[in-house]
Amino acid sequence: MRYLGHRLVQSLFLLLGVSVLSFIFVDLAPGSFFDEMRLNPQISSETVAKLRKQYGMDQPLPVRYMRWLKSTLKGELGFSFAYDAPVAPLLRSRARNTLLLTGSATLLGWLIALPLGILSAEKRKGWVDRTGTITTSVMLATPDLLLALGLLLFAARTRWLPVGGMSALDSGGQGVWQQTRSTAVHLVGPVVVLVLGSLPILMRHTRAAMIEALDSPYVRAARAHGVRRWRILFRHALPAAINPLVTLFGLSLGSLLSASLLIEVVMSWPGLGPLLLEAILARDLYVVIGAVMFASLFLVCGTLLGDLLLFVADPRIRTDELV
């Protein structure tokens, strides 16, 4: 398990580095939460000074960072100025919503990309491959923001989909099944946008990996021996092409997370994105740092999941570990 142990240690150092850089960049940004309070004539400068001292903002950056680390070890992730509460509970519920959105989009994207990429590789230079190449090129050139706005316009015009939120306004007194159904319906729009944004890259990587596997000597030998086409695709070519796809799976989870923060704001999904934007505008620095750390944690977990799947799928890694 040295391979996974090394990956875990690297991930911990990565998170530590992200936290240090986050503190430095937030400290270099102009303005603060208390600067706007000074503009309010009803709040005296003495009150602002007491609040700065209460939250430790009068301390040097290294001291504030060490206090934040101690708070993180307690599970608080600092203290929010705007909410007057620990940051971690504010982020947990939002993080669950973001994970629901990102996980659903990742699963659906791969379920669509894998068969389409395999079919495009098997039928390369045919009309299926040419159509897929043109379609993915158009989708790659279309910004996610434009896709989100287009879907919102479609939902508002047709009323087939809700235009925002996570559940209906009257779903509070409903049963579990009705609330789950309402959440699933509200999930459709953001998931469709994220899937359309990630599908071209996933399809092209799947196609490229499968073409390389199909051109290998042992696949040609299998064809020469009359092995059936579907057996060649799924028994011989796909296992050979799985390594880069497994690695891409972990990275796609992180990239979808980054895209989801914008989509959540545009489509009013109550995830980390709207909370992060609100915290940035209010200069609530510990909420900003906490949201960045949660996003980095999701990316690291996605990468670790890809490494774990690669460890299971590729016997060469296990063999190298034993040497």
Note whether 24 and 138 are same-domain residues: no
Is residue 321 a part of any domain in this protein?
no
What percent of the chain clears pLDDT 90, i.e. is strictly above it?
Answer: 0
Note whether 82 and 106 are same-domain residues: no
Is residue 223 a part of any domain in this protein?
yes
Is-contact 284 90, C-beta < 8 A?
no
pLDDT at 323: 47
Q: What is the CATH number of the domain that holds 133?
A: 1.10.3720.10
Is-contact 224 137, C-beta < 8 A?
no
- Which residues are paired to 80 by β-bridges? 85
Note whether 98 and 65 are same-domain residues: no
Note whether 52 and 99 are same-domain residues: no
Q: What values do phi and psi take at 12, rounded to 5?
A: -65, -40
- Which residues are paired to 85 by β-bridges? 80
- How far from chain centre, in Å, is Cα 6? 23
Note whether 63 and 178 are same-domain residues: no
Total number of domains in the chain: 2
Q: Is 250 exposed, middle or buried (0-12, 13-18, 19+ CB in 10 A)?
A: buried
Assess whether pLDDT exceeds 70 at residue 123.
yes
Domain boundary among the residues 68, 87, 106 is at 87
Note whether 24 and 112 are same-domain residues: no
Note whether 159 and 293 are same-domain residues: yes
Say how many C-beta atoms besides its own lie within 10 A of residue 51's C-beta: 16
Residue 44 structural domain: 2-87
Is residue 322 a part of any domain in this protein?
no
Assess whether pLDDT exceeds 50 at residue 210.
yes
What percent of the chain clears pLDDT 70, i.e. is strictly above it?
Answer: 92
Is residue 255 a part of any domain in this protein?
yes
Is residue 122 a part of any domain in this protein?
yes
Note whether 57 and 103 are same-domain residues: no
Domain boundary among the residues 42, 70, 87 is at 87
Is residue 191 a part of any domain in this protein?
yes
Assess whether pLDDT exceeds 50 at residue 259.
yes
What is the model's pTM? 0.80
Note whether 62 and 103 are same-domain residues: no
pLDDT at 143: 83
Note whether 157 and 34 are same-domain residues: no
Note whether 103 and 13 are same-domain residues: no
Assess whether pLDDT exceeds 80 at residue 54.
no
pLDDT at 171: 57
Q: What is the pLDDT of residues 134-170, one digit of tens each?
A: 888 888 888 888 888 888 888 888 878 777 777 765 5
Is residue 323 a part of any domain in this protein?
no
**Chain mean pLDDT for the chain:** 80
Mean pLDDT value across residues 73-99: 85
Domain boundary among the residues 87, 107, 134 is at 87
Q: How far apart are CA 265 and CA 294, in angstroms?
A: 17
Assess whether pLDDT exceeds 70 at residue 111.
yes
Note whether 177 and 73 are same-domain residues: no
Residue 241 pLDDT class (50, 70, 90 cuts): confident
Assess whether pLDDT exceeds 50 at residue 322.
no
Least confident span in 43-52, 142-151, 284-293: 43-52
